[in-house]
């Protein structure tokens, strides 16, 4: 029996819905989900391989999903840990691409230039802000996997919501966006690997030509805690179909014959 803990915040909801649809295909896998939402999720932490809430008594706003209601989970009892919904904040790089032409990158109608080495230094520094705390680094076991927060549903570009303005800037020039994304992800993957974690990519089939998520994988998304359906104007959370693809991809890698739990290879 392979034991897997899936932890994180509200984006774990899609992964749980996906697992519910395919769990019958994996009789030798036991999967435990443990998550929270909003401000409560920020109160969760890792101490001595115990993940969860570490205060002696629950806070008034403490929210727990899964894990049989327990406030903490012991990672040492698992073969794998999947952290779902890690923010990579790729959209914040719009502040650079909207101002500078980068040497060797596809060019835009911009006056200011930046060398490739300078841009790479920015990416490297940015990657370090995405790496989790050192308590998450270089475990012997369990093996740590990171799944990123999904890209928003591409309908956000027409929503007029200012929180998606950076994506509007980036997606206005998809060629430059995808050039930057390839370079950023190469550095992100290497940065996580240096800490002993494996960064999982977004399922390619969920992405549209502009580099965001196809609405087919967002519409019908359900809230983590009560399974009610999100409003159609909610573009950040994904549905069960998305969760199925993520979980199948993850399981195909972590359960691959001969895979070493320590190195992930």
For the segment 164-184, what is each residue's pLDDT rounded down to a tens digit?
Answer: 999 999 999 999 999 999 999
Q: What is the CA radius of gyration of the chain?
A: 19
Structure tokens at 40: 């409560």
For the segment 8-53, what is each residue's pLDDT rounded down to a tens digit?
Answer: 999 999 999 999 999 999 999 999 999 998 888 888 999 999 999 9
CA distance 176 to 178: 6
Secondary structure of residue 82 in the 3-state scheme:
strand
pTM of the predicted structure, to 2 decimals:
0.92
State the pLDDT at residue 257.
Answer: 60
Structure tokens at 215: 């609405």
CA dihedral 188, 190, 191, 194 (to 10 degrees): 160
For the segment 133-160, what is each residue's pLDDT rounded down to a tens digit?
Answer: 999 999 989 999 999 999 999 999 999 9
For the segment 63-109, what is each residue's pLDDT rounded down to a tens digit?
Answer: 888 888 999 999 999 999 999 999 999 999 999 999 999 999 999 99
């Amino acid at each position: 029996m392979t034991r897997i803990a899936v932890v994180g915040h509200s984006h774990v909801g899609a992964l749980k819905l996906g697992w519910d649809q395919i769990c019958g295909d994996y009789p030798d896998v036991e999967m435990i989900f443990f998550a929270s939402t909003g401000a409560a999720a920020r109160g969760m932490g890792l101490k001595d391989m115990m993940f969860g809430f570490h205060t002696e008594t629950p806070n008034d706003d403490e929210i727990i999903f899964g894990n049989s209601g327990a406030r903490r989970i012991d990672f040492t009892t698992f073969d794998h840990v999947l952290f779902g919904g890690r923010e990579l904040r790729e959209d914040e790089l719009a502040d650079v691409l909207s101002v500078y032409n980068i040497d060797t990158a596809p060019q835009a109608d911009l006056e200011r230039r930046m060398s490739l080495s300078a841009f790479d230094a920015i990416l490297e520094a940015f990657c370090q802000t995405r790496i989790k705390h050192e308590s998450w680094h270089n475990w012997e076991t369990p093996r740590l996997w990171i799944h990123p927060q999904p890209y928003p549903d591409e309908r956000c570009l027409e929503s007029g919501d200012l929180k998606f303005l950076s994506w509007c800037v980036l997606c206005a020039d998809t060629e430059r966006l995808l050039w930057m994304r390839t370079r950023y992800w190469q550095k992100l993957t290497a940065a996580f690997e240096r800490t002993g974690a494996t960064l999982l990519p977004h399922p390619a089939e969920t992405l549209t030509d502009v580099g965001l998520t196809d609405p087919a994988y967002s519409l019908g998304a359900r809230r983590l805690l009560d399974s009610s359906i999100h409003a159609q104007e909610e573009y950040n959370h994904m549905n069960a179909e998305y969760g199925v693809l993520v979980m199948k991809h993850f399981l195909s890698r972590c359960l691959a014959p001969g895979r070493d739990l320590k190195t992930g290879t």
